[in-house]
Amino acid sequence: MSPEEKDQKIERLEQEVKALLERIAELERSLGLDSQTSSKPPASDGLKKSNQIRTKSLREKGKRPSGGQIGHPGQTLEQVLEPEKIVEHPTPYSCSGCGSDIGDVGIKKIIKRQVFDIPAPRIIVTEHRVTVKECPECKTLLQGSFPESVTAPVQYGVRIRAIAAYLNHQHFIPEDRLSEVLLDLFGCRMTPGTIAKTTLTLAQIIEPVVAEMACEVKAAAVKHLDETGLRISGKTNWLHVVATETQTWYRVSPQRKDIEVLADIKGVVVHDHWKPYYQLLDVNHALCNAHHLRELKAIDEIEQESWAKSMNKLLLLACNYKHRYPKGIPKNIVTRLTQLYEQILQRGLSFHSSQSPLTRKGNRGRVKRRVGHNLLLRLQNFQSDVLRFLTEPDVPFTNNQAERDLRMMKCKQKISGGFRSFDFAVSFANIRSFLSTAFKQGLNLLEVITQALLGNVCVLSRLNYY
């Protein structure tokens, strides 16, 4: 082998070694990611979460001791002044010490102990009757009229149907198991078909309310956007959410990128930097910094890039200021935080500019950048969206509101899987929009469902049961 051939072979082997090292680093990174360092769900952590994840939380140790704090009101049972039932327990007629008769001795004091419980639930059957009379002159049959809600010779009442809908859509008990629950609780076995029919009836009644909520939440000054997958007829569809602190609107779509219905949205939208959201016009964007903290944690622990740790500390410091000044962070603090942010960005960009470029895969396209470099460019190009929470008091630090509102879909999926039809998934989304909004407004959900089944569709704005 000639010296030229040896040099060519060495060069080729060096390129292969470099590519293999990059591949190994990429695989090690993917293995090192978990729910604390990426957007992976906690269920993907596997068994290692029992002894590892608990020590890797993004939340720093607080200065306060665990448990209730001084001044916290607490919640406990308290005796009532007028109990519904009083049971008298007599005093012994003779003294246990000397045997004296104390039957005629006056009462010195009364010790009270109250037990809170519910009566044994049971079904009450109400029979509605109307009389029929015949006119003696023209022989016309005349009869009274039943209430509008009584339409069949035998039917379930509004209250038991409301309980079934409440347990089905608030606590996600599947229809088959719910039928057994109702039998054990009330002695009646409501069939799964009847429960499903109640769902469709409730969804149809509240449809105008949900449409009005959709308009209101899209017009809110600040709203949160997010999406998650759900299974319908064995295929992946998407549940989108637009939420505020007081309202929630869910919608089902076959495609993830179906955001045309949000074309008229206004104000500030908080999201996790899903690029299609940037197609929305006439809105300002705010990015979720909880996602940034997880990515920075991964870059710090896996790639061991020092700038990531500094940026992590800076964002947590900015979050503390956000909580300390809920009406607005002072301008001098905002200016200083912004300067530090830009300095850390420049330090990170300088670090990556000094690194050798990654191996190009193929002859077309741009050279692949490292994960940390991509994050730095995002933090630089969208700086105003990342730091919008510093200058606008109503904009939160994270997109946790949407994350919490989407969590219920994962609970539903774990318990009863997906949906058999698209229409039933839409009904579920409408009912969940209705119940989530009622919960945020402090309403009693069982009473809200009961009133809705009675036709009172404006319960969210007129009634408050707490």
The predicted-structure confidence for 77-118, as pLDDT tens digits, reads as follows: 889 999 999 999 988 888 888 888 888 888 889 999 999 998
DSSP assignment of 18-33 equals HHHHHHHHHHHHHHH-
pTM of the prediction?
Answer: 0.79
DSSP 392: -
Q: Residue 58 and residue 54: Cα distance in Å, rounded?
A: 10
Least confident of 22-26, 41-45, 314-318, 339-343: 41-45
Q: Residue 387 and residue 391: Cα distance in Å, rounded?
A: 8
CB 165 within 8 A of CB 131: no
Q: Quote the pLDDT of residue 461.
A: 53
Q: Average of pLDDT values for 239-253?
A: 95
pLDDT of residue 48 exceeding 60: no
| Interacting residues of 388 by C-beta distance below 8 A, sequence separation 6+ | 268, 284, 285, 286, 287, 395
Q: Which helix (H) or strand (E) holds 271?
A: strand 267-271
Of the candidates 460, 458, 455, the one whose C-alpha atom is nearest the C-alpha of residue 442 is 460
Q: How many residues does the chain have?
A: 466
Structure confidence at residue 139 as a pLDDT band (50, 70, 90): confident
The predicted-structure confidence for 184-221, as pLDDT tens digits, reads as follows: 999 888 999 999 999 999 999 999 999 999 999 999 99
